[in-house]
């Protein structure tokens, strides 16, 4: 049995018969806009702990097929080399799951998937490669209100999950 994914189509897509962005992407609309927040990058075998202050800007691009998230830490005395990153979210209709790709200013990259929201929690899991190492990665987003969320990034080292970064974000 073949199924047709739910899509949004603009007039041009309807006229040419091309599929539009998956309707499932609308579930991520909460993140659209500009966010400000603070948190901590925790100590790991590769870097010391540091406080972070950051902005996050999320837009829907490429015909609405992708959410593009741009994160930028602010430089400070405690964070003289702030991280910037681009996080791209989409939906794989064949696999029926959300997909994510991460690219950062230190050469790190990640590929993740998520089944979607479970209540107010969205969890992406996958692998990250950074500094010559590849390891399991988990990003958890918890929606607290229409204008606030909490993010926790974790990696698995030797079979044990450790917190890498944590932020509280507000519009």
Instruction: Say how far apart CA 20 and CA 12 lie, in whole Å.
Output: 10
151 within a domain of the structure (yes/no): yes
SS3 114: strand
142 within a domain of the structure (yes/no): yes
67 within a domain of the structure (yes/no): yes
Return the CATH number at 97: 2.40.128.20
At residue 131, what are phi and psi to the nearest 5 degrees? 60, 30
pLDDT score recorded for residue 122: 99
pLDDT score recorded for residue 46: 80
Residue ranges making up the domain that contains 137: 27-170
By mean pLDDT, which of 8-12, 15-19, 119-123, 151-155 is the weakest? Answer: 8-12
Whether residue 104 has pLDDT greater than 80:
yes
Q: What mean pLDDT comes out for the span 100-120? A: 98
Instruction: Say how far apart CA 158 and CA 171 lie, in whole Å.
Output: 37
100 within a domain of the structure (yes/no): yes
Tokens of 47: 């870097």
Whether residue 131 has pLDDT greater than 60:
yes
2 within a domain of the structure (yes/no): no
Q: How many domains does the chain have?
A: 1
Residue 3 pLDDT class (50, 70, 90 cuts):
very low
Instruction: Say how far apart CA 36 and CA 7 lie, in whole Å.
Output: 31
pTM, to two decimals: 0.88
11 within a domain of the structure (yes/no): no
Q: By the 8 A CB rule, do 71 and 56 touch?
A: yes
What proportion of the chain, given as a percentage, has pLDDT over 90?
84
73 within a domain of the structure (yes/no): yes
Mean pLDDT, the chain, integer:
92
Cα→Cα distances 75→44, 58, 71, 132, 160, Å: 20, 21, 13, 25, 31
Run of H or E including 11: helix 11-16
Whether residue 5 has pLDDT greater than 60:
no
83 within a domain of the structure (yes/no): yes
């Amino acid at each position: 049995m073949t199924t047709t994914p739910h899509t949004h189509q603009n007039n041009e897509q309807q006229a040419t018969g091309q599929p539009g962005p998956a309707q499932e992407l609308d579930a991520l609309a909460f993140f659209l806009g500009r966010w400000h927040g603070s948190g901590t990058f925790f100590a790991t075998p590769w870097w010391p702990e540091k406080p972070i202050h950051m902005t996050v800007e999320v837009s829907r691009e490429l015909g609405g097929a992708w959410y593009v998230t741009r994160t930028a830490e602010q430089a400070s005395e405690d964070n003289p080399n702030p991280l910037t990153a681009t996080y791209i979210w989409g939906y794989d209709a064949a696999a029926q799951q959300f997909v994510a790709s991460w690219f950062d200013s230190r050469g790190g990259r990640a590929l993740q998937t998520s089944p979607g929201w479970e209540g107010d929690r969205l969890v992406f899991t996958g692998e990250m490669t950074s500094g010559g190492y590849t390891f399991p990665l988990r990003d958890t987003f918890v929606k607290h209100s229409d204008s606030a969320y909490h993010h926790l990034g974790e990696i698995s080292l030797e079979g044990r999950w450790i917190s890498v970064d944590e932020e509280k974000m507000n519009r």
